[in-house]
Amino acid sequence: MAYINVEQGVPGIRSLVLFRPDTGKPLYELAQILLRGPSTLSPAERELIAAYVSSRNQCFFCTNSHAAAARCLYGDEGSVVDEALLDPENAGLTGKMKALLNIAGKVQILGKEVTELDILLAREQGADDREIHDTVLIAAAFSMFNRYVDGLASWTPTDPAAYAEMGRRMADKGYVLPQPVNQ
Amino acid sequence: MPHIDLNNDLPGIRGLLAFRPEVAGPMGELANILLRDTDGLSPVDREFIATHVSWLNDCFYCHHSHGAIACHYLGGEMDLVDQVRNDYLHAPISEKLKALLTIAGKVQQAGKAVLPEDVENARRHGATDRDIHDTVLIAAAFCMFNRYVDGLAATTPTDLSTYGPRARQVAEKGYGNHIISEKQPAA
């Protein structure tokens, strides 16, 4: 049970933003810009960065929901998500995505872990300034979302079907601030 | 030098937000609500949490920036800010704030490090659901801001006298796009 009095039966971050919608609004806007806004990285690639960081932070809710969204968005190539979460270096990803996941993994540890060499390797694989910026900020943002969700012990469903449904919704609709059911 | 070409020479997160103004809106709004709300925790309490977490994350720009804002609110009590930053258990602050800083420190390690007894201890000292929520989200948000600033090697002024004028600007006008769109305050 969550540490604070949130609506029962509402999972993860959705319960927290319903508890405090005024902070929920910029949080959802940030997620929408970073994961769905105009970018040369596809929504599938950006969801994979989110799932990868969440997995390293051992946030079950965020890992499974964003992995499900990434699988939907990758379509026929959805299995690459599971490969990447297990072993990104040997997953069927582009060299650029591997280099960006390496940077995201460093950010997950701490900002200063990112070295000039990490950046150089990403550039050699074709990553530009904006892609590097967005990778760092997605990884940093999920270092926040993961802590928000687990730090308040929000409800984490364990049924895989619940995540498959969440992933479809996230792939179809993006990030829209949840509205209270009973008003 | 920053890892990417920002096309500006603004310090810290300001340079990053000027490079990517689309994210400046929600990030500024989040900071403004979390750090300037007066419901429950005071703006000083909120800046203390931000300063402590940024110090734990070893983010020089953020812990000096938010320490300077707390100091501004306090009318210049830098000794108190310094003590809260790195030795809050012995600082002359309320037991409630100490309990909340302990929760913030757990969040800095990992979300799951926050235990039911940490939350019970904060409640025993008068913390409400809203206080606990805001503490966790401030600490989590600074795990983002700190990684954003250091992960891109944002420009970090080492002259501590430059932090006061920016702190005064934020204390007077809040967080938001003005920190990147208006002239930077002079020392």
pLDDT tens per residue, range A95-152 = 999 999 999 999 999 999 999 999 999 999 999 999 999 999 999 999 999 999 999 9
Domain boundaries, chain B: 12-174
Question: How far does CA A1 lie from the centroid of its chain?
Answer: 23
- Kindly list the structural domains of chain A, giving each domain's residue range(s) and its CATH number in brackets, ordered by start: 46-173 (1.20.1290.10)
pLDDT tens per residue, range B38-97 = 999 999 999 999 999 999 999 999 999 999 999 999 999 999 999 999 899 999 999 999
In this predicted structure, what is the pLDDT of residue B3?
Answer: 98
CB contact under 8 A, A144 and B141: yes
CB contact under 8 A, A19 and B133: yes
Find the mean pLDDT for residues A143-163: 97
Nearest to B151 among A37, A58, A114 (CB): A114
- In chain A, DSSP finds a helix count (H) and a strand count (E) of 9, 0
Nearest to B132 among A4, A111, A140 (CB): A4
B2: left (phi over 0), alpha (psi -120 to 50) or beta: beta
CB contact under 8 A, B26 and A33: yes
Q: What is the mean pLDDT of chain B?
A: 97
pLDDT tens per residue, range B110-156 = 999 999 999 999 999 999 999 999 999 999 999 999 999 999 999 99
Torsion of CA B26, B31, B36, B38, to 10 degrees: 80
End-to-end, the C-alpha distance of chain B in Å comes to: 22
Sign of CA dihedral B164, B35, B131, B145: negative
Percent of chain B with pLDDT over 70: 99
- The ipTM, to two decimals, is 0.97
Nearest to B140 among A22, A30, A144 (CB): A144
What is the Cα–Cα distance from B50 to B57, expressed in whole angstroms?
Answer: 11
Burial of B7 (0-12, 13-18, 19+ CB in 10 A): exposed
Residue A182 has pLDDT above 80, yes or no: no
Closest approach of B161 to chain A, Cα-based (Å): 24
pLDDT tens per residue, range A14-68 = 999 999 999 999 999 999 999 999 999 999 999 999 999 999 999 999 999 999 9
Q: What is the mean pLDDT of chain A?
A: 96
What is the Cα–Cα distance from A135 to A40, expressed in whole angstroms?
Answer: 12
Percent of chain A with pLDDT over 90: 97
Reported as a pLDDT band with limits 50, 70 and 90, residue A180 is confident
| Residue whose pair of structure tokens reads 């079907």 in the numeric block | A161
In this predicted structure, what is the pLDDT of residue A181?
Answer: 73
CATH 3.40.50.740 corresponds to the domain B12-174: no
CB contact under 8 A, B110 and A147: yes
CB contact under 8 A, A147 and B133: no
B1-8 long-range contacts, CB within 8 A, separation 24+? B1/B153, B1/B155, B2/B152, B2/B153, B2/B154, B2/B155, B3/A114, B3/A116, B3/A119, B3/A132, B3/B151, B3/B152, B3/B153, B4/A119, B4/A129, B4/A132, B4/A133, B4/B152, B5/A129
In this predicted structure, what is the pLDDT of residue B186?
Answer: 80
In this predicted structure, what is the pLDDT of residue A137?
Answer: 98
